């Protein structure tokens, strides 16, 4: 019985983790281990893709908001398949002119699975080395 309680806690933790990212000219709410249909991405199946344009991340009770993007945050995706959306019918008619035009359109999509949402924390060594290099540039 204790294992089932622990698994519920883990599932609740994963449910509270989500991110809002910008891709394909739109903003999407991404959750781990869910799939999403994005506009066609030029990648093969099983390829890994990372999104760096992360606008917001919520992890349990903490929320990080970017200005406009969060530094060192990324979402890792895996391409599952390429498909086409449902057909939509575009019908144009000019009244009293006997002009009619009927066209169909199917959007090309890529289905991706969210593998992880990460925030890479910069180490103090990397930050101090940046300061050291800027100090040497000012001296010369």
Does 89 reside within a domain?
no
* 14: CB partners within 8 A, 6+ apart: 31, 32, 33
Token pair in block for residue 92: 């144009």
Instruction: Quote the DSSP letter at residue 122.
Output: P
- Contact between 30 and 20 under an 8 Å Cβ cutoff? The reply is yes
- What is the extent of the structural domain holding 36? 2-82+109-139
pTM: 0.70
Which of the two residues, 107 and 130, has the higher pLDDT score?
A: 107
pLDDT tens for 106-126 read 999 999 999 999 988 875 554
Q: Check whether 33 has a pLDDT greater than 70.
A: yes
For the chain, how many structural domains are there in total? 1
- The span from the CA of 27 to the CA of 22, in Å, is 4
Does 88 reside within a domain?
no
Q: Check whether 43 has a pLDDT greater than 80.
A: yes
């Amino acid at each position: 019985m204790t294992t089932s309680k622990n698994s519920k806690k883990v599932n609740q933790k994963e449910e509270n983790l989500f991110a809002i990212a910008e891709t394909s000219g739109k903003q999407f709410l991404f959750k781990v281990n869910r799939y999403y249909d994005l506009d066609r991405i030029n990648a093969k199946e099983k390829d890994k893709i990372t999104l760096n344009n992360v606008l917001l991340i919520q992890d349990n009770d903490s929320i990080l908001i970017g200005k406009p993007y969060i530094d060192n945050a990324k979402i890792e995706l895996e391409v599952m398949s390429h498909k086409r959306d449902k057909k939509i019918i575009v019908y144009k008619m000019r009244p009293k002119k006997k002009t009619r035009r009927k066209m169909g359109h199917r959007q090309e999509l890529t289905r991706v699975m969210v593998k992880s949402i990460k925030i890479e924390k910069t180490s103090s060594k990397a930050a101090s080395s940046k300061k050291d290099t800027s100090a040497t540039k000012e001296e010369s």
